[in-house]
Amino acid sequence: MKARSIARELALLGISQLTDNPEKMQAASGQERGIALPAKALDALLMKALKALSADAQETLDTAEGELQRSERLILESETRTVDQDEVRSRIQPAVPLIESAINRAGSTLELLIFAQQGDRKEIITARRSLVSASTHLENGDRLLLEHALRAANIDDARVQIQLAISVVRSAVIELKSSLEPVNFAKLINRDEVRSYACDLLYNWVTHWKAVDTQLNEAMEKWSMRRLARVDRDILRLAMMEIVYMDVPTRVAIDEAIEMAKRYSDEEGYRFINGVLRRATDKLDAAKA
């Protein structure tokens, strides 16, 4: 996981802890008088963001556990509710994407913890190995399901592999949850490249929100910033600040904004954000021409 990606996420979560009226926040911080944001205020904001990030990681793992429970229920039903082999396979098959999703969720949390802690904790190493093993079991189970449909494999063999995948992912989730402690996440903002970039984003958000909102409003058709969900507004602002004031390549800033929107918004939200940013940057390019 890249330092700037973490910094962007921390900045987004930090902004969410502030008032939704940037003008009030700007006045309170002294920006209208040209006073820099106090270092203590930035540190406090980043600590709040870390708590939010930790809570989000916890929620991600809780969701993964729910997917594993649903998968187990499907496996149990395949053993107790039918003896017809084709129907057994049809009951097991929906478990595969659920387990895959759980592995991906656990993997995203693992990636964050590895970045924060340099991957040197026993729980993290164990969880990484477990996820690799679970992916192998799931691939084997999915292959055996396909081969069973062709009458070339035993359905019980497929079920065993999928049950093993569930068990191993659950072990990884338990290990990861034990690492979700504030002291571990605090290491993130002790890394210079994370702290520096997150603070730059927060500073630019406070300083330039009005100009950025004007540019974004001009790029929207029959909409305005104030009508959007707050998280969508903040993602749009951060991306435009990177492009206009921090010399981040347009493609990079838009891609990062889309990734954050996929985590914190919804499909409609990230598609909308992509469209607005493209129109806004096209206008900027046209003005420079």
Instruction: Report the b/e string of 133-160 with b at 16+ CB within 10 A.
Output: bbbebbebbbebbeebeeeeeebeebbb
Give Cα 73 distance to the centre of its chain. 27
Q: Where in the chain is the domain with CATH 1.10.940.10?
A: 3-37+191-283
Q: Considering the chain, what is the average pLDDT of its residues?
A: 85
- Which whole number is the average pLDDT over 46-57? 82
Residue 50: pLDDT band (50, 70, 90) is confident
Domain 48-185: CATH architecture, name and number where available: Up-down Bundle (1.20)
Instruction: Look up the pTM and report it.
Output: 0.72
* One-letter amino acid for residue 217 of the chain: N
Per-residue confidence band for 54, with pLDDT thresholds at 50, 70 and 90: confident
Residue 34 binned pLDDT confidence (cut-offs 50, 70, 90): very low
The token pair at 185 is: 């996440």
Residues 8/238, Cβ–Cβ less than 8 Å? yes
Q: How confident is the model at residue 32 (pLDDT cuts 50, 70, 90)?
A: very low
Query: How much of the chain, in percent, has pLDDT values that exceed 90?
Result: 43
Tell me what pLDDT residue 76 has: 94
Using one digit for the tens of pLDDT, what is the confidence trace for 143-187? 999 999 998 889 999 999 999 999 999 999 998 887 777 666 666
Q: Where are the alpha helices (DSSP H) in 118-191?
A: 122-149, 155-179, 182-185
pLDDT digits (tens, 9 = 90+) for 114-142: 776 654 577 788 888 999 999 999 999 99
Q: What's the whole-number mean pLDDT along residues 17-33?
A: 55
Q: What pLDDT is attached to residue 232?
A: 92
Q: Where in the chain is the domain with CATH 1.20.120?
A: 48-185
pLDDT in tens, 223-279: 888 888 889 999 999 999 999 999 999 999 999 999 899 888 887 888 899 999 999
Other C-beta atoms lying within 10 Å of the C-beta of residue 286? 8
For 3-37+191-283, CATH number out of 1.10.940.10, 3.40.50.300, 1.20.120.1770, 3.20.20.105 equals 1.10.940.10
